[in-house]
A and B are shown apart, each in its own frame.
Chain A
Amino acid sequence: MTAPRPTPTAEPLLQVRDLRVAFRRRGEPDTLAVDGVSFDVAPGQVVGLVGESGCGKSVTSMAIMRLLPRRGVQITGSVKMDGEELLTLSEAKMRERRGRDLSMVFQDPLSSLNPVVPIGLQITEVLRRHRGMDKEKARQAAVDLLDRVGIPDPRRRVTAYPHQLSGGMRQRVMIAIALACRPRLLIADEPTTALDVTIQAQILELLKEMVAETGAALIMITHDLGVVAGLCETVNVLYGGRIVERAQRHRLFGTPRHPYTHGLLRSIPRLDAAAGEQLEAIPGSVVDNLPWAHACAFQPRCPRSVDRCVEVTPEAENTGGRLLRCFNPVPASAE
């Protein structure tokens, strides 16, 4: 494993403030998918967004990329890149920035690659559009990129269609496309969830190498705590559309303070655990439209809930480099 790079102290590259995304449907109350999420990403930093399905992690990334539909979606708050507000940028200007400054790798490469266009063309398209390369130069660059992401025989592979490649290879192509214009921010949304573990290890290693090489910042979105443990410097844990805990990875995994983080870590079967150890399951499951408005959304499943949890919404408090949203956190010495 490569050692994580030191946390840069420069101006944040990306600044997300109080981001809210509501899905509206006629005759029904709004569904708040993201409910006031704030975080920073420094240049070259690797940040993790972790949570279960429905916690709003993917919607957050789609909102940052401005990929959500206009109709029926209300986005408020602020997303600034280099100090420039992305949420109010014109569609044309945003298109300019997507791919060049910030790009994304999705979970399922088969549905995010165009099935009827050879992969080479899908890479050269980006290069010609954003870097103004001519046809021959772009083709050469595409071959180099495919070679760089570890695709054997890239000169012949440029003419292959996505269905002719295996899942791991397709994800490598996605990474090549995303990094073609050397963006400064890469968002990876569950990039390895559809892959087998041995292939997942290859892709994570590649992502790590690529961000180190290009100096891009990475937002890693995943449900897998194991993936973030080895990759991200700062980890944000989301529940019900809000960040419930944020800390540097060693602190978060070493002494998880929020009952949700704590419970999550205890409920995963671990390879290095003693045999016959009973898992401590978190009771219940995630429900839609969580009542953050005047209570803690995790309270119904929380073993440490106190009276205040059902009366007041816990605010996120920042103490000693750790953000925590809880009235009765797990004592730091409990681990």
Chain B
Amino acid sequence: MDTDEATAAPHASVDGTGPLLDVRDVAVHFPIRRGLILDRTIGHVYAVDGVSLRIHRGETYGLVGESGCGKSTLGRAILRLEKPTFGEVWFDGRDIAPLKGEELRTMRRRFQMVFQDPMSSLDPRQSVEGMLMEGLKAHGLSRGPEADRARLRELVEQVGLPAAALRRYPHEFSGGQRQRIGIARALCVEPDLIVADEPVSALDVSVQAQVLNLLGRLQDELGLTYLVIAHDLAVVRHVSDRVGVMYLGGLVEEAPSQALYDEPLHPYTRALLSAIPVPDPELEDRRERILLTGDLPSPAAPPPGCRFHTRCPWRQPERCDTERPELRVVEGTVGGHRVACHYAEQIRSGTLQPHKVEPAVAEDVLGPGAVPDQPGSVTEILGR
């Protein structure tokens, strides 16, 4: 793994040595529209607001955050399912943000997605075979009926399903098996990068481990690169080499997963880690919990300065509410531990101690703040 994350390295090279994915200052803003005839834009939802990250070949990058932090939108922007408002997405030495049409379609073979809910992301009227064949044909990977059949059999066996599964339909499978099909569909076009958005959160706990282990095995066998997006830090930590934590459209911390757990530096990461229940009563009784007050502010009206300052127990009177902190490497940490906090060093050394925070009045929470008082245009209502 590179340790020079913060230094400006040249764009990923085509010879396969640079990072596979280099996301540079990407933002996705959704307009909030109002009015039936005059379709005015009255504001923007700043879903992703300036995120830079790099994913190296064969690495698993975990992206965590709570609902509304923009992690899924970022994943979709990387796959160009959402067009970034600005910023660059370099994939294997090429900026894919401005691509469109046929060029984008052919490029898509190399990055695939595994969705959260396998039932709604699989076509209920298409057999598994039909589904996988469609991908092969669309990307010109079909090599005649004989070879294709052998390839499909190999695929379903790779994800741990019997060959007979090919002739069956999504409703005939359990949740875990459906997720395996979703993974097979992503694999069938031989991609380099797989973006998995909440791959196990719809599954029962006993089945989650099966799918996580499968993803790990496939990475070893096929040399895949993963971007795993999830709200569950325990899951992300388990599968990832590096983890990025998002809050309200921006990355607040990025570190090798062990370092992030051993020494979380950003106040939000600390609160997040302390909030996760651990199935161990001894530990639960001992733990100090950092309880955050209030709710996530609306991404349509993000607070000025540090996005987290309204809920931060370490908030200081200066800089926090005026100056947005950059993601920077903290001296003396391992593996390029990057934090977006003005006071990371003082928090780390313990010179700053947490204090009590009064909950912000619920005016600016997601929901009321993001939604205008009267319903606006039809597009706005449908868009919600």
Contact = CB atoms under 8 A, between A and B. Distances in A.
Please say whether chains A and B are actual partners in one complex.
yes
Interface of A: 1, 3, 52-53, 150-153, 157, 163-166, 168-169, 196-202, 204-205, 223-227, 229-230, 249-250, 253-254, 263-265, 267-273, 275, 277-283, 285-286, 301
Nearest to B210: A281
B334 to A, nearest CB: 13
Of listed B257, B284, B292, residue having the most chain A CB within 10 A: B284
Contact of A169 (B232, B272, B365): B365
Nearest to B289: A201
A153 B359 CA distance: 10
A72 to B, nearest CB: 23
Of listed A223, A250, A279, residue having the most chain B CB within 10 A: A279
Given A198-B271, A226-B276, A153 B238 contact: no
Contact of B366 (A53, A166, A283): A166
Nearest to B277: A226
Nearest to A200: B275
B204 interface: yes
Contacts of B292: 198, 201-202
Interface string B236-280: 011100000000000000000110010000000001111111111
Contacts of B272: 197-198
B368 interface: yes
B221 to A, nearest CB: 15
B126 interface: no
Given A223-B204, A271-B278, A1 B284 contact: yes
Contacts of A1: 284-287, 289
A263 B208 CA distance: 12
A279 to B, nearest CB: 4
A270 B279 CA distance: 8
Contacts of B283: 229, 272
A229 B281 contact: yes
A196 B231 CA distance: 8
Interface in B189-247: 204-210, 212-213, 216, 231-235, 237-239
Given A1-B289, A196-B67, A281-B213, A270 B361 contact: no
A197 B359 contact: no
A271 B281 contact: no
Contacts of A202: 291-293
B354 interface: no
B280 A229 contact: yes
A164 B367 contact: yes
